[in-house]
Amino acid sequence: MSKEGLPEVSSIDATGLTVGVVTSMWNEEICAQLHRRAIETGAQLGAKVLDYRVVGALELPVVVQKLAETCDAVVALGCVIRGGTPHFDYVCDSVTQGLTRIALDSGKPVGNGVLTTETEQQAIDRAGFEGSVEDKGAEAMTAALHTALLLRSL
C-alpha cells in the first residue's frame, strides 16, 4: 500500500480557510465514505467546508476549477476501479491531468483523493472504513489545507 512513508502532519489550524469538496457518486459506498472522512477532517481542522457532488470522476475537474476561483483549497474525491476495457486508463489520466492543471493554473491546492484501483477491495482498504489501512479522504483534505496554509505564509 502507498501509506508507506506517509508523513505525520500535526498542528494544522485551518480557521478562516474555505475548502470545497467535490465527490463523484460512482462507486457510491466508497465515495460516500471518502466524502464523510474529508468533511469530518476539514471541520476538525477548523475550515469552512463547502460540499458538492458530481456523477463521475470525469466531471470532477470542471467543478474543482470553478471552486478554485473562490476557495482557498479544493479536494476532489472519487473511485475508479479497473474494468475490462482501456476506459480506466483514459479516465484516470484525464482526471489527474485536469486536477494538476487546475492547481497550477489557479495557484490553489487541489487535494487529489481519487482512488484508482484494480479491485473494489483495494478501494475499500483505502477509503477510511473501520479496518481500512488508509483514509484517503482525510489525507487529501489534510494535504490541501496544509498546502493552503503554506501558500499563505510565502
Domain ranges in the chain are 21-153
Residue carrying the nine cell digits 481500512: 132
Q: Is the pLDDT reported for residue 116 higher than 80?
A: yes
Question: Binding site for (2S)-2-hydroxy-3-oxobutyl phosphate: what residues are annotated?
Answer: 84-85, 126
**More confidently predicted of 3 and 88:** 88
Burial of 153 (0-12, 13-18, 19+ CB in 10 A): exposed
Residue in 6, 9, 62, 87 annotated catalytic: 87
Question: Binding site: what residues are annotated?
Answer: 26, 57-59, 79-81, 84-85, 112, 126
User: What whole-number distance in Å separates Cα of residue 125 and Cα of residue 1?
Assistant: 9
Confidence band of 1 (pLDDT split at 50, 70, 90): very low
Which tens digits make up the pLDDT trace of 45-101? Answer: 999 999 999 999 999 999 999 999 999 999 999 999 998 777 888 999 999 999 999
Question: Binding site for 5-amino-6-(D-ribitylamino)uracil: what residues are annotated?
Answer: 26, 57-59, 79-81, 112
146 is catalytic: no
Which tens digits make up the pLDDT trace of 5-26? Answer: 556 766 899 999 999 999 999 9
Which tens digits make up the pLDDT trace of 123-154? Answer: 999 999 999 999 999 999 999 999 999 999 99
User: What whole-number distance in Å separates Cα of residue 43 and Cα of residue 20?
Assistant: 12
Question: Measured between alpha carbons, how far apart are the two ends of the chain, in Å?
Answer: 33
Which CATH number among 3.30.1330.10, 3.40.50.960, 3.40.50.720, 1.10.3720.10 corresponds to the domain 21-153? 3.40.50.960
